[in-house]
Copies of this chain bind each other. A is one copy, B any other.
Amino acid sequence: MPNRDRPGLSRRAWLAAATGTAASGLALTRLDALKAAPFQEAPPQLPDPTRVPGRFVSELGRRATGEQPRRLLRTLALSSSSRTPLHELQGTITPSDLHFERHHAGVPEILAEDHELLVHGMVDRPMVFRMADLRRYPQASRICFIECSGNGGGAYSRSRMPTSITAQQLDGLLSTSEWTGVMLSTILREVGVRPGASWILAEGRDAAVMARSVPLDKAMDDAMLAYGQNGEAIRPEQGYPVRLLLPGWEGNAMVKWLRRIEVSDRPTMTRDETSRYTDPLKDGTARQFSFVMDAKSVITFPSYPYVLPERGWWEIEGLAWTGRGRITQVEVSTDGGRSWTAAALQQPVLPKSTVRFRHLWNWDGRETVILSRATDETGYVQPTVQQLWDARGEGTSYHHNHQRAWKVAADGTVTFGLGDLL
C-alpha cells in the first residue's frame, strides 16, 4: 500500500519508530479501544520472554492471557440462548466453543454409542442407523453459517429501538463452521423414497422433542446429517452426535440431536412450526415456512461500545451473509445513507457462508451514522427497516434482515444508530 493512501497510519507508525517509543494512546484500535473505554490500567509486567524458557507442550492448548472471548447468555427458564461475540472474531470460522446456542429445553446428554436415527414413513425400507453406520457412508464437508431466525429482533420495534446494544447482543445468534457428515440424499436413496413423497419430518432427542417439517427438495439437495464441526465431533450444544444441516435456512429447522426422519406427502404442522416460526403479517395473515435467511450484513467495527480515539483512517469491518447463495456486493455508507461505496470482500467468499467486508474510512471527526447493505447473487438487496415494516408490519418476530446502523459521535463513542435515521 503506497504511503499516500494512508498518511495517518504510516506517519504514526513512522513516528513510533523514529522516536523509539511505543505509539500507545495514538494507535488504539478494536479491542484496545474497547478495553480503554471503561478503564485504563497499567499492563502487567512480564519477564523478557527471550531470557526465560517458555512453558512446555500440552495435550490441549488454551487461549492467550488476555484473550477471553465469551458467549453472552440469555436464560428464560428452560428455553435459553447464548450469542457469539461477533465483534471479537476474525476470518470465517467461529471457534466451536463460541458457536451460538438456542434450545428449548437445554442441552441433552447423549452418548454416540447408544444413539439411533430412525428413517421411515413413505420409504421402501425403513431403517435404523447407528452412528457407526452413518460413518461408513461417503463423507462430505462444507463451510456454512447457521443463524437463528430471531436474530436481529432486538432492533426491529419502532417503539423500542435501542442505542446501547452490541453486535453480539443484536446479531450474535449467527455462527459459521465447517460441517462434516453424510448427505441426507445418500441416506434417503438408501431407504428408497416412494413416489408421491414431498416432505420430511425431522425430530430431535431433547426434552423439547423439537420437530420441524422440511420439503423433500431441500432434503435431496444440500441437506446433510452433520456429525462433525470444525474438524472434530459436533459439539453437544450443536446437536451431538448428529444434527440436520440445511445450508442457508433458519437454524430452528436444522433439528439437533436428530433421532427420527419421517418421509411424508405433506408438512406435519408440529407445535414447533405453528406456535413459533410462523410470521404474522400486518394484514392479519401469516407467512408460514419462511425457511430461507435473506441477505443481511452488520458492521462489527466500529460498533457499540467501541470508542474511536482519534479522527483519521479506520477500517470499517463487518459480516454479510445470505441463504440464497453468494454475497456479490456489500456497500457501506458513512453519511447516514446518502451515499454508498462498495466495500472489499475478504476471501474466502463462500456460498451460504458469512463473508467479511472491509472499507477504509477517513473519519473527519464529525458525528455521523455508518451503515452497510448486502446484495446477493439473486440481485436481492438488504432492505431498510422501513421497507421491512411496509412489507411485513411490525408484529413479526423473525427474519429481521433490515440494514443496521451505528452512530459515531464527535467524541468517538459509538452507539446503535438506526433510531437516529428514523
Residues in chain A within 8 A of chain B (CB atoms):
1-3, 9-10, 12-14, 16-17, 20, 22-24, 27-30, 32, 43-44, 46-47, 49-67, 69-71, 73-75, 78, 80-82, 88-99, 101, 103, 105-114, 116, 118, 125-130, 132-133, 135-143, 178-180, 186, 189-190, 192, 205-207, 209, 228, 230-237, 240-241, 257, 313-315, 317, 344, 346-348, 356, 358, 360
Contact = CB atoms under 8 A, between A and B. Distances in A.
B75 A130 contact: no
B105 A13 contact: no
Contacts of A110: 46, 49, 64
B190 A64 contact: no
Contact of A63 (B49, B135, B232): B232
A101 B56 CA distance: 10
B92 A29 contact: no
B54 A89 contact: no
A246 to B, nearest CB: 18
Contacts of A20: 128
B27 A130 contact: yes
A75 B57 CA distance: 7
A180 B90 contact: yes
Given A3-B190, A17-B126, 19 more contacts: A13-B129, A17-B127, A23-B133, A32-B113, A43-B113, A44-B111, A52-B207, A53-B78, A54-B108, A60-B70, A60-B97, A60-B98, A61-B97, A61-B99, A61-B237, A93-B230, A94-B231, A138-B344, A138-B360
A127 to B, nearest CB: 4
Contacts of A63: 232-233, 235-236
Contact of A59 (B82, B95, B234): B82
B346 A49 contact: no
Contacts of A236: 61-64
Nearest to A52: B207
Given A111-B66, A232-B67, A240-B64, A106 B344 contact: no
Contacts of A232: 63, 67, 69, 88-90, 95, 98
